[in-house]
Amino acid sequence: MKELIYYSFLESSDLKRNFIEENKEYLYEVFSKILNCIKDGRKILICGNGGSAADAQHIAAELVGRFLLDRKALPAIALTTDTSVLTAVGNDFGFDAVFERQVEALGLKGDVLIGISTSGNSENIVRAVLKAKQKDLLTVGFLGKDGGKLKDLVDYPIVVKTFSTPRIQEVHITIGHVLCDFIEKSMFGA
């Protein structure tokens, strides 16, 4: 069992190292687009299911609260948190509509939608992205495996190329943390 622990940490760190070597220029481009939206007074909407829902909430909390710096709050909403909306929409329209309806209600032109899906095929995320594109939001996917359906739907797919869901999630939260750090330091200094 000691080997399991060691191997898990090694696998996670190797995946992160390989991911950033392949994607550092691309992440800078994507993060800069998101930063510009925030600077233009727009907001970030974030959604995901299960562990990805927790990641959506975590990232939104870091932006609204703070990541490392004491600074003004930044506009971010996790679409995973309002149980009344989630259950009403789920009951009346089906679970596949729970994020789509919120994007329709809250999303404005120039906002950002980040959809988090380890498979890239979550239907409720697909529908949220399609609605966001209709409303002219910038769409970003934190995806896994081969990117799934969302890879070709979002403006900026960020794909963690492994089939291990836990490892995908570990990279996704690192991407989220680095995005928060990037936005915070770009806007409020080191």
pLDDT at 116 over 80: yes
Q: Residue 2 has what pLDDT?
A: 87
Neighbours of 17 (CB within 10 A): 10
> Across residues 87-92, what is the average pLDDT?
98
Q: At residue 164, what are phi and psi to the nearest 5 degrees?
A: -90, 105
Q: Is 58 annotated as a binding residue?
A: yes
Domain span at 82:
2-188
State the number of CA atoms in the 13 A half-sphere of 26 facing the CB: 13
Q: Is the pLDDT of residue 102 over 80?
A: yes
pTM of the model: 0.97
When pLDDT is averaged across residues 58-85 and rounded to a whole number, the result is 98
When divided into structural domains, the chain yields a total of 1
Q: What would the mean pLDDT of 166-178 be, rounded to a whole number?
A: 98
Q: Could you tell me the CATH number of the domain that includes residue 35?
A: 3.40.50.10490
Coil, strand or helix at 115: strand
36 belongs to an annotated ligand binding site:
no
Between 174 and 190, the more confident residue is: 174
169 is in an annotated binding site: yes
- 15-67: pLDDT as tens digits: 999 999 999 999 999 999 999 999 999 999 999 999 999 999 999 999 999 99
Residue 65 labeled ligand binder: no
The count of other CB atoms within 10 Å of the CB of residue 178 is 14
Per-chain mean pLDDT for the chain: 97
Asked if pLDDT for residue 190 goes beyond 80, the answer is no
119 labelled ligand-binding? yes
